[in-house]
Structure 1
Amino acid sequence: MGYQIIRALLYFFFGLYGLHVEGRENIPDKGAVIAAANHKSYFDPPLVGMALEKRRISFMAKSELFRNPLFGRLIRYLGAFPVKRNSADMTAIRRSLAELKKGQVLCIFPEGGFVHGKALGRFHPGMAFLAILTGTPILPVAIIGAEPLPVKKGPLAVVIGKPIPVRKARPDDRNTAALDELVKQRIQAMIEAYEKKKGQGSF
């Protein structure tokens, strides 16, 4: 019940910014999937949660966010678990593998932190490592317009691409780098395509 109330409040909040979601038909109905999204603001995790409304998601969040007991408890309830950045956090890796083994959606922001501007930042290898190790498909997610929230109104959009199949293998520098680049290019192309449609007044 509490989760549904929070979801309703988020729908109302993002509705003030004219949230537009595309590509929900690309979300697998069941089975493990890694949702990989670009990262613009603290609003990105709930935005992904709204966009993937037919699936409940788990997501990594930097460990610093859990220092406040009240806020930490809230985001844990919403599916977050801590990860220590700039280190091989084995606890977070084991939790990620457990979520995928259960057939859940795991959301990862491969840039690792906020990256402002139109270009995407460097992708860290964790997303690709987990996907290749487990053979889990990656769902590319493009977040557009979240950077100025809550100061400036929209347009605010989340675009969900088609899942990228991943063959299970032993992760190494070559295959993780190649997968990172493929996902990065896919998200960048989705952002550019949306911006082009928006400029042409196709909505």
Structure 2
Amino acid sequence: MGYTIIRVLLDLFFFHILRLHVEGEENIPSKGAVIIAANHKSYFDPPLVGVAFHNRRLSYMAKSELFRNPLFGWLIRKLGAFPVKRNSADMGAIRQSVRIIKGGEPLLIFPEGGIVHGRALSRFHPGMAFLAILTGTPVIPAAIIGSEPLPKRKGKLAVLIGKPVEVKKARPDDRNTKELDGLVKERIQAMIDAYEKGNSVPFL
């Protein structure tokens, strides 16, 4: 009940007040595990991607510091968040991620590891690719446009959803994680560049 109420309020806020535009909804699988890899521009991004993926309930990692406030921690847990200790190999967060994937649910990850302003993407951390390869889970690239808080926000608010990148289950290593990171990053950047130039978005 709590999730449903929060979700209705978020839908009203993003779609009817901020006029969120979503493209590529046909690329969202109706069931089964998938990792959603998105760029990160503001604290609004997790619920923003959540409402864009309207037919799926997402789980996502959030830095452990956000759970120190009991009320806010309760709220983001209702929205699918679970804590991760940044700048460390948090085995608890990794195990929780694997449980979500094995349960056939979608997992949202921000591979940049933190908020990055500007059009160009920052370096990807290896966690997203590691989990995808370890479990053989497809990755959906997602591009977030214009989610910066006012007064930095310019132009339209949009989420662009790319086609799933199929991933073969294997032992993750430096080579295959860098290769997957590079491919997903390239697709997100291509969607951002095309949208901001007013061109047709290449969902690839």
TM range (shorter): over 0.9
Q: Which residue of 1 aligns with 2:7?
A: 7
Pair 174,2 (structure 1): closer, same or farther in 2 beyond 3 Å: same
Q: Which residue of 2 aligns with 1:114?
A: 115
Q: Which residue of 2 aligns with 1:69?
A: 70
CA contact (8 A) 1:32 1:103 kept: yes
| 5+ long unaligned stretches in structure 1 | none
CA contact (8 A) 1:17 1:153 kept: no
| 5+ long unaligned stretches in structure 2 | none
Q: 1:34 is matched by which residue type in structure 2? A: I
Structure 2 residue matching 1:119: 3-state secondary structure: coil
Between 16-25 and 158-167, report the one with greater CA deviation: 16-25
Structure 2 residue matching 1:5: 3-state secondary structure: helix
CA deviations on 1:140-165 (whole Å, 9 max, x unpaired) are 10000001347757410000000000
Structure 1 residue matching 2:143: 3-state secondary structure: strand
Q: Which residue of 2 aligns with 1:25?
A: 26
Q: 1:44 is matched by which residue type in structure 2? A: D
* TM-score relative to the length of structure 1: 0.94
Q: 2:124 is matched by which residue type in structure 1? A: F
CA contact (8 A) 2:146 2:153 kept: no
Pair 164,9 (structure 1): closer, same or farther in 2 beyond 3 Å: same
Pair 175,103 (structure 1): closer, same or farther in 2 beyond 3 Å: same
Q: Which residue of 2 aligns with 1:88?
A: 89
Pair 150,51 (structure 1): closer, same or farther in 2 beyond 3 Å: farther
Pair 37,95 (structure 1): closer, same or farther in 2 beyond 3 Å: same
Q: Distance in 2 between matches of 1:154 and 1:16?
A: 14
Q: 2:176 is matched by which residue type in structure 1? A: N
Q: Which residue of 2 aligns with 1:54?
A: 55
Q: Distance in 2 between matches of 1:7 and 1:125?
A: 30
- CA-based RMSD of the aligned residues comes to 1.5
Q: Distance in 1 between matches of 2:123 and 2:140?
A: 18
CA deviations on 1:106-130 (whole Å, 9 max, x unpaired) are 0000000001111000000000000
Q: 2:67 is matched by which residue type in structure 1? A: F
Identity, in percent, stands at 74
CA deviations on 1:14-42 (whole Å, 9 max, x unpaired) are 23222100011100111110000000000
* TM-score relative to the length of structure 2: 0.94
